[in-house]
Chain A
Amino acid sequence: MVDSGGTGPAVRHTILSPRSFVSSIFVVFLSLALILLGLLSGIAYFILRDDLTRSAQSEMAALVDEKAAAIQRWIGERVTHLDVLATWSRFDALGPWPARGQASTPTQERLLGELRADLRRWTVAPASVFTSVMLLHPESGRVLASSEPLDEGKIKRFRRYFIEGRHAPFIQNPFYSLSRNAVIMAVSEPVWRKDGSLLGVLVGEVGLQPLDGIVRRQSGLIASAEAYVVNNARLFITQPKHISNPAVLRRANYTDMVSRCLMGGSGVITADDHDGRSVIAAYRWIEARAFCVVAQAERQEVLRGVNRLIWSLLVVAVGALLVGMVVALFFARTLARPVERMAAAARQLGQGDLSVRLAETERNELGELATEFNAMADRLLERDRELRRSNRELEQFAYVASHDLQEPLRKITSFGNLILEEKSQALDQEGREYLNYIIDAGRRMRSLIDDLLAYSRVATRAAPFEPVDLSDLLTSVREDLELAIQDARADIKAAPLPTVMADPGQMRQLLQNLLSNALKYRKPNESARIDVTAARDASGKGCTLAIDDTGIGFDPAYAEEIFKPFRRLHGRSTYPGTGMGLAICRRIVERHGGTIEARGMPGQGATFLVRLPLEHVEGAPAHE
């Protein structure tokens, strides 16, 4: 994008570093992406978790209702069947039971035999409604007839199904039968004679396997879903799916859900189950049975979808992060590159390469900026050309003027001297004095012209740069100034000086001017003391020469003035000179890409600091 005809170095450090700009955009993009992703993930997680929990709660509530209804239906069917049995047509023919210790009548024995056969039909296929059915004596609870012959003669007077069944139909919750060696339930109901007296109590025993089957039957989509029943003593009366040891009437359930249920409640809850697993459960109290039916599903499974979502989101997040990084980097680079190029172009422009231009390919604000930049560069280039032309003309004029002025001036002073030497007797005293004025003015004019020429030659007669050992050069300069040094009784101390890439002749002139300056402006009646030192810059790319004297110094207010051509701080009669020395110094230093400054106080000496690059690239200085 940058069209540069210049050869200046590509310095990339500006106030707004392209790298920091890219980083900023990158971080902003990435942060936005992460925040958005985090927000979306969080919202999705909570919504899905609540939905799944609610869905599972509904499913468990439906399951517990279904199981409770099935249990009631199953028990109700047993009661209905016993009702049918209680209507056995020959009960009334049995007559009153004999007193204790007396035998039954033959008719009773016969009828009990028929009853026994009928009872047995209810315990075998296809009916298989009960595991056993028996008729109990209304007073003693003795088994009068049973589908199980061995049961006859047993006494059930302390069984609740007998005690309660004497008055009304009764369902006894699961209990352990030693003779059956199993947990069973029983339904009972009174059998009334036509005269209203109690003939006996009909009892049907049922095993729990069908109930267990009803409760444990799997339905729904949640694999961990299960239902179980707990009695009012907190004991399981159906076997929970996840308990391997026999739990019926052995294991107690002290969970929150059962506690709530036993208080007569129904509801849904997220709590720990009997195995300490976190479950979503629904519970229902069956008042008529004093049962607590619980349906539960593992929360972990219910929320597995959420967990999968979280993992998916994590994977997506990582992917999005990577993509986001690439995209952010791309965008950052895309946005930053034109800015970076503009910054580079501006730097080049600032370093004097006025040929640099930006490609105007963007059709946006950046494109407009490039257009404006190029227009500005065009204007600068035009101004620069004009300036250069003007400078060249001026320099040419100065050079030509000073060069061409030398000849008539030389003639004026030559002929003035000739007149003074050979024709002075033809002049009177006043004439000779005037002639001396002319000759002196001519000399001064010549000095001015020489200095002006020297000033202009810094640019017009410049030599290529080469390594210049400043220590050697200073020694040579001191030799050139030997007489002046002796005259000033000057003590010059020089530290080792570096070698720089420079124009040897101009460096000589620089040091000579600065030393001459220090010698000239020494304090009256005092010997001059001059220290020349050098120090490398912290960057290592340049050095600073310091020429420190103990002379008369100067007012700091004129620190910059003294470098202007023909600027003098003292009268010519006090300190002779044209006022061009320091101007030439500055021009030389600037041509070498350096700077020069003066520090001082009146009566306290002066210090001239010359900063020069150590590794000079040929052609780098543009101030010519």
Chain B
Amino acid sequence: MRARSFRGVAVVLVALGVWSAVEGRAADSIRFQLNWKPAGSFSGYYIAEDRGYYDAEGLQVTLHHGDHTTDTIALVSDGTADIGLTTADELVKARAAGRLVKAVSAVHQRSPIVFFALDETGIARPHDFVGKTIRVTRDVASTLHTMMGFLGIDHQSYDVVSLPSDPALFLSGSVPIWGAHISGLALRLQLAGHRLNLIFPHEYGVVSYSQVIFTTDRFLETRRDAVSAFLRASLLGLQDVLEQPGLVPALIAARDASADAAMERERMLAVTPLIVTGEAPVGWIDRDVFAYIIQTLVESGEVSAPVAVEAVMDDGPIRSVHGYHG
């Protein structure tokens, strides 16, 4: 009888403990600034939101979408948001410019930029770019020049041009080589049945992270556990999407009725190899990679002076998520 009473009391106490813990943590709100409108590549966050992974971590996460004009680093730096998404290059540049932001995770372990040409053109390597015109955007141009520099190909040996992302323009053949996001025009052309030669900068020494999750130094100092919890819940959601990409259309449709939900699923599949590389745990950030990125940016003149690796990244939270300590 006494043992039964004790068990009953213990159960009540544990329940109260769990309840109070959950209640106590529920107040931990996080504003997460995304760098694009609702997209398949954000599905992990949507899943974490819908399935209560954030709630389970005691977080109240608010997702804020953006567009091509959104300066996520500025929004996080000025405190409008707590955590944001950017690229490794932009983060290093911002840090060099004095903004106290740090990467804590990288969803895309490789550059999402790809150069492509119609198979029939015979253009299959960067060496084939010599004497050709290449369509670029601002970030693509930077990657192109870095890649060509690694290969010892002079910038003067090829031309670049800025064009809108238009399949008709590509298929017209006036500009044979296009640089774009792996889940952008190249994907649409492939899905339309066009055979493309894909040239990945990653294969030619361009090392970069994109979809980098970052926050401020102060936020890391004051709410480090919340950052770890955020990463843990987000990566759990991401894992769900990787295992079940069929979830993507519904997630997108629920957030943007005008979006091509089916296309977003294809986009998610296209970036999956950037997320799960087999060479590092999902979301990992590596000091050597950041050191190399810094070096590359310094060599290219985009960053005037070297920045300490520790200043641009903190791998503590992602290590704790994956169970690596010390």
Contact = CB atoms under 8 A, between A and B. Distances in A.
Interface in B116-161: 124-127, 150-152
Given A179-B203, A245-B243, A250-B243, A158 B278 contact: no
Given A100-B152, A153-B126, A176-B273, A160 B203 contact: no
A524 B282 CA distance: 126
B278 A183 contact: yes
Most B CB contacts (10 A, CB to CB) among A101, A160, A235 go to A235
A249 B205 contact: no
A252 B272 CA distance: 14
A615 to B, nearest CB: 65
Given A153-B204, A155-B205, A158-B289, A235 B110 contact: no
B199 to A, nearest CB: 9
Given A153-B151, A158-B207, A235-B276, A250 B242 contact: yes
A157 interface: yes
Contacts of A141: 205
A150 B199 CA distance: 10
A249 B200 contact: no
B202 interface: yes
B127 to A, nearest CB: 6
B60 interface: no
B281 interface: yes
B239 interface: yes
Contact of A155 (B150, B277, B282, B288): B150
B279 interface: yes
Contacts of A183: 278
B292 interface: yes
Given A157-B205, A247-B243, A176 B277 contact: yes
Interface string A145-168: 000001001110110100000000
B322 interface: yes
Interface residues of A, number: 30
Interface string A220-256: 0000000000010101010000000101011110000
A252 B243 contact: yes
Nearest to B109: A176
A250 B281 contact: no
Interface string B185-214: 000000000000010101111010000000
Give the size category of B's interface with A: 20 to 34
B243 A235 contact: no
Contacts of A231: 278
A432 B277 CA distance: 157
A127 B20 CA distance: 65
A181 to B, nearest CB: 8
Interface string B267-283: 00000110011110110
Contacts of B125: 150, 153
A415 interface: no
B203 A155 contact: yes
A251 B150 contact: no
Nearest to B150: A155
A330 interface: no
Contacts of B292: 158
B64 to A, nearest CB: 28
Given A153-B127, A158-B289, A178 B200 contact: yes
A616 B183 CA distance: 111
A252 B239 contact: yes
A250 B272 contact: yes
A138 interface: no
27 contacts: A101-B152, A141-B205, A153-B126, A153-B204, A154-B203, A155-B150, A155-B203, A155-B205, A157-B205, A158-B205, A158-B207, A158-B288, A158-B289, A158-B292, A173-B278, A175-B277, A176-B273, A176-B278, A179-B200, A179-B203, A183-B278, A231-B278, A235-B276, A235-B278, A245-B245, A249-B276, A252-B243
- Considering the complex of A and B, which 9 residue pairs feature the smallest CB-CB distances, nearest first? A155-B205, A175-B278, A176-B273, A251-B243, A154-B203, A175-B279, A249-B276, A178-B200, A233-B281
Interface of A: 100-101, 140-141, 150, 153-155, 157-158, 160, 172-176, 178-179, 181, 183, 231, 233, 235, 237, 245, 247, 249-252
